[in-house]
Structures are given as C-alpha cells and as structure tokens.
C-alpha cells in the first residue's frame, strides 16, 4: 500500500512516498522557501538526487509540483497519483484530544484548529496540508499523526506545572512534550532488542530541536519539552530550561515585547546564542577544536544539560536498562555521546569508546560488555511510524 507522508510547515514541506507494507521508501523530498522563491529537493531511493529552483508561490502549488514529479516521465516512481492509497500527516499539537493517530474527519480538523493557540505556527500549516490533499486527492483517506500523542501517557505528577491548578483546567496549561513519534519509534526498537518485560529506557533525541524522554514499559512517563518545544535541553537556537524570572528581567532591560522575547529564546539562543558561531553543532565542534573558548563552553553546557535529564529520569524510574541516542547529533556525534556518558559509570553506564567511534548505519550498541545499562545508537524513522499508522487505520477501506 502506497502512503504519501506530508509534514507541512509555514514556508516549507517535507514529503515521502512509502510502501507501508514493505517499508520501502519510493521517494522523498523537501520544498523550501514557499512564497519566497522556491526550491524543491527530491530524492529517489538512496542515490538519485534532484534539485529544482522555480517559483512556488503557495503550498498548493508545492504539493501539485511534488505530485507531478512523482508521476512525471523522467522522475516518475508511480504511473498515476491514483496509486496513492492514503496520506499520513505529521501534526505537531494534538493537545489532550489525541492519544493516538486518527483518520481525519471534520471533527478532527476542528480539534486541531482549537489547538492553534498552543502551536500557533505549526498547527495552521498542518491543517493547510490536510485541506490541500483533500482538494487534490478527494477520494484518498487522510490520517493525522501527532507529535504529542505518545506523551499522553504521562500522569499529572509529571505533566503539571507548579502553578495554580485552575490554569490547567481552564487554559490547558501543562507539559505536552513533542518528538513523540521519534521517542516511540526508538524506544520500541530498543524494547525489541532488549527483549525484556518492564523495561526502563531513556531516549535522547538530539537534533536541531532536542528532547529526552523516559519510557517505562513502552510508555512515556516524562519528557523534557513542555507546553511548547522551548523547554528542556539546549537546542540549535532554543534556550531550553531557564529561570522564568529571566523573561520580565530581559523584557524590561532590552525593552522587548512578548513576541520579541519569544523570538530571542526560540531563535537567538541555544547553541547559536552561546557560541555566537552557528546553530549547527558541527561548526561549533570545529571551532572548539580550533581553540574557540565559547564553543567549548557551549559543548560543555549542552552535554551537562543532557546529563542532568538522564540522571533525573533514571532516578524517576528507579534505574535504566538502556540509553538511546538518535537524530542528527545523537546518531552522528561520538564526541557528544562520549561527553554525556562520561562520569556516569557510578550508575552502571559504561561507554565503549571504540564502538562509539565506529560510523555504521542502522541500530548499534556502543556500551561495554560489563555495562549494566546498555547504550545504543538508534537512527530514528518518524516517517515509517506515520506510514504504518496510516496503513493500519486505512487498510480496511
Ligand atoms: P532536525 O531537528 O531539523 O530534524 P537533525 O536531526 O537533522 O535536525 O539534526 C541536525 C543537527 O545535527 C545539527 O545541529 C547538525 O550540526 C547535527 N549534526 C549532524 N551531523 C553531525 C556530526 N557528525 N557531528 C555533530 N553534529 C552533527
């Protein structure tokens, strides 16, 4: 069954065409700068990469273009868009409405719309993606897969903020957590490897956006992101955890509006803010090797924050069977994995430096034989989860 996966953002969209039954990736790509100028990067299989630069004024034109490329003579992977049997959409915020993926109905769209105040940039773009697909492929079912859904198993003691309770009941103020599809995929792969009942796993999803998740018996019990994806770890451009007192202090000192302070914490902080070099960790690691002091501090701060979450989640679960590293930094940076694990031997966490430095594709163990806690690198695959959920929900149609 061919499933089209769509992740629609404000000025970009990512897509994949997957055979959900065999997990075969037919094609994938990214359209950027929609409404500005337009770039489409399309990949067929693992090798063939094509780039198109042409005006793409709207998301509808972007999706039409992608569908044309999928069926076009030179670039075609399918004969007709009629071969697409279902569409899976990545939706950022499902609030407390959605504890799992669901077939899109008018009521589902209405609920995603109600959640716009909690995800003002993402949910409108996600809804637009759904509506365009409904228009362009009216007979094809759409499925919504939520970034927040996996964390809906968190209980109140782990998701409430210590503020007046009425703000939870009246204004939905609570921790929701994000990257749920990735935390689910990685922890599920790890459960299969561990082959153990009652597993205690900590997933470190370290990319441009980063979060840690404590997963007990396959269920999220706590995660570092909160009401929004701003809480928790130090990220590419996001500050992560910060004293709330910083906000009024800076607003007054720098005469900032609430939008400007949000912009400061979301886009100017994190790795970029501390290092002053880049939000791309590779560049900061390079500068640190060349002796740049602020880059060195950035890396230490980043790893200390991850360590703090690892230790607190191990404490929360009363131990940890496995720690998993995933996403751009987690999968590729042996330096960050080493710095995070270093010093945690007292908890039974022993990294094997040789295994850690080997670059290999696929799931791999990087802990010493003697390590009580296993350490793994597990490449994430959110799109595959979306494809499988979409397949499972629509196969009887
Ligand atoms: P996104 O959250 O946008 O999906 P990714 O998961 O692709 O991002 O992660 C991007 C991050 O991964 C960037 O900060 C990039 O510098 C980092 N990264 C990729 N490869 C390496 C590497 N070899 N060493 C260190 N960081 C890396």
Residues of the chain short of pLDDT 50, as ranges, are none
Provide the pLDDT for residue 397.
67
- How far apart are alpha carbons 284 and 316 in whole angstroms? 33
- Mutation choice for ligand 1 from 32, 204, 207, 275, CB with most ligand atoms inside 8 A: 207
**Nearest CA-CA partner of 89 in 16, 188, 195, 189:** 16
* Cβ 147 vs Cβ 90: under 8 Å: yes
Q: Whose CA is nearest to atom 23 of ligand 1?
A: 332
Q: Whose CA is nearest to atom 12 of ligand 1?
A: 328
Name the helix (H) or strand (E) containing 387: helix 382-394
Residue 209 CA, ligand 1 centroid: distance in Å: 9
The atom number, within ligand 1, closest to the CA of 327 reads: 6
Q: Which residue matches tokens 């496995």? A: 322
Provide the pLDDT for residue 364.
97
* Cβ 154 vs Cβ 317: under 8 Å: no
Structure-block tokens of residue 21: 């039954």
- Ligand 1 cavity residues, CB under 6 Å: 207-209, 236, 280-282, 285, 327-329, 332-333
Per residue in 161-180, pLDDT (tens digit) is: 999 999 999 999 999 999 99
Structure-block tokens of residue 334: 């042996």
Structure-block tokens of residue 29: 């790509």
- How far apart are alpha carbons 125 and 103 in whole angstroms? 18
- How far apart are alpha carbons 222 and 15 in whole angstroms? 30
Provide the pLDDT for residue 74.
80
Dihedral of CA atoms 151, 156, 158, 161 in degrees, nearest 10, equals 110
Instruction: Give 11's Cβ-side CA count (13 Å radius).
Output: 9
**Nearest CA-CA partner of 136 in 63, 75, 80, 83:** 63
- 290 tagged catalytic: no
CB contact burial 238-271 (16+ within 10 A = b; e otherwise)? bbbeeeeeebeebeeeeeeeeeebeebbbeebbb
Q: Please state, in angstroms and as integers, the Cα–Cα distance from residue 33 to each residue in 43, 78, 214, following that order.
A: 18, 26, 36
pTM, 2 dp? 0.95
Provide the pLDDT for residue 10.
87
Give the dihedral sign, CA 275/276/277/279.
Answer: positive
Q: What contacts 131, CB < 8 A, 6 or more positions away?
A: 109
Dihedral of CA atoms 44, 125, 206, 380 in degrees, nearest 10, equals -40
Using alpha carbons only, what angle is made at residue 199 by residues 95 and 149, rounded to the nearest 5 degrees?
A: 10
* Cβ 186 vs Cβ 326: under 8 Å: yes
- How far apart are alpha carbons 305 and 326 in whole angstroms? 16
Per residue in 352-396, pLDDT (tens digit) is: 999 999 988 899 999 999 999 999 999 999 999 999 999 999 988
Residue 380 CA, ligand 1 centroid: distance in Å: 13
User: What length does the chain have?
Assistant: 397
- How far apart are alpha carbons 236 and 282 in whole angstroms? 11
- How far apart are alpha carbons 124 and 149 in whole angstroms? 18
Residue 327 CA, ligand 1 centroid: distance in Å: 7
Strand 322-326 with 200-206, pairing: parallel
* Cβ 305 vs Cβ 233: under 8 Å: yes
3-class secondary structure, 253: helix
Q: What are phi and psi of 133, to 5 degrees?
A: -65, -40
- Mutation choice for ligand 1 from 203, 240, 274, 329, CB with most ligand atoms inside 8 A: 329
* Cβ 265 vs Cβ 242: under 8 Å: yes
Using alpha carbons only, what angle is made at residue 348 by residues 342 and 353, rounded to the nearest 5 degrees?
A: 40
Residue 366 CA, ligand 1 centroid: distance in Å: 19
Among residues 107, 110, 147, 263, which one is catalytic? 147
Per residue in 209-252, pLDDT (tens digit) is: 999 999 999 999 999 999 999 999 999 999 999 999 999 999 99
Residue 65 CA, ligand 1 centroid: distance in Å: 28
- How far apart are alpha carbons 356 and 175 in whole angstroms? 33
- Mutation choice for ligand 1 from 41, 178, 281, CB with most ligand atoms inside 8 A: 281
């Amino acid at each position: 069954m061919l499933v089209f996966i769509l992740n629609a953002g404000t000025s970009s969209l990512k897509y994949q065409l997957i055979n959900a039954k065999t997990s075969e990736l037919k094609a994938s790509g990214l359209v950027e700068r929609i409404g500005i100028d337009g770039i489409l990067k399309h990949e067929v299989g693992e090798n063939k990469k094509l780039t198109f630069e042409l005006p793409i004024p709207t998301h509808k034109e972007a999706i039409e273009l992608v569908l044309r490329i999928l069926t076009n003579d030179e670039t075609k992977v399918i004969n007709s868009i009629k071969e697409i049997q279902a569409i899976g959409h990545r939706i950022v915020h499902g609030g407390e409405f959605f504890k799992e993926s669901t077939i899109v109905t008018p009521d589902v769209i209405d609920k995603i719309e109600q959640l716009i105040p909690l995800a003002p940039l993402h949910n409108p773009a996600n809804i637009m993606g759904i509506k365009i697909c409904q228009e362009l492929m009216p007979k094809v079912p759409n499925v919504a897969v939520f970034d927040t859904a996996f964390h809906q198993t968190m209980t109140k003691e782990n998701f409430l903020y210590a503020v007046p309770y009425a703000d939870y009941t009246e204004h939905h103020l609570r921790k929701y957590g994000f990257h749920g599809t990735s935390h689910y995929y990685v922890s599920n792969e790890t459960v299969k490897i561990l082959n153990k009942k009652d597993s205690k796993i900590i997933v470190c999803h370290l990319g441009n956006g980063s979060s840690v998740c404590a997963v007990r018996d396959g269920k999220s019990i706590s995660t570092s992101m909160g009401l929004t994806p701003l809480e928790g770890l130090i990220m590419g451009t996001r500050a992560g955890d910060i004293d709330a007192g910083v906000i009024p202090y800076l607003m007054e000192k720098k005469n900032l509006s609430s939008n400007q302070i949000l912009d400061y914490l979301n886009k100017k902080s994190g790795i970029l803010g501390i290092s002053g070099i880049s939000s791309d960790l590779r560049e900061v690691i390079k500068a640190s090797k060349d002796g740049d002091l602020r880059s060195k501090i950035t890396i230490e701060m980043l790893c200390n924050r991850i360590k703090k979450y690892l230790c607190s989640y191990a404490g929360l679960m009363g131990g940890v069977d496995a720690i998993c590293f995933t996403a751009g930094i987690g999968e590729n940076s042996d330096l960050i994995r080493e710095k995070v694990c270093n010093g945690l031997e007292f908890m039974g966490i022993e990294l094997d430096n040789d295994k850690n430095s080997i670059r290999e594709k696929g799931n791999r163990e990087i802990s010493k034989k003697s390590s009580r806690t296993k350490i793994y690198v597990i490449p994430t695959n959110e799109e595959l989860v979306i494809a499988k959920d979409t397949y499972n929900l629509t196969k009887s149609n």
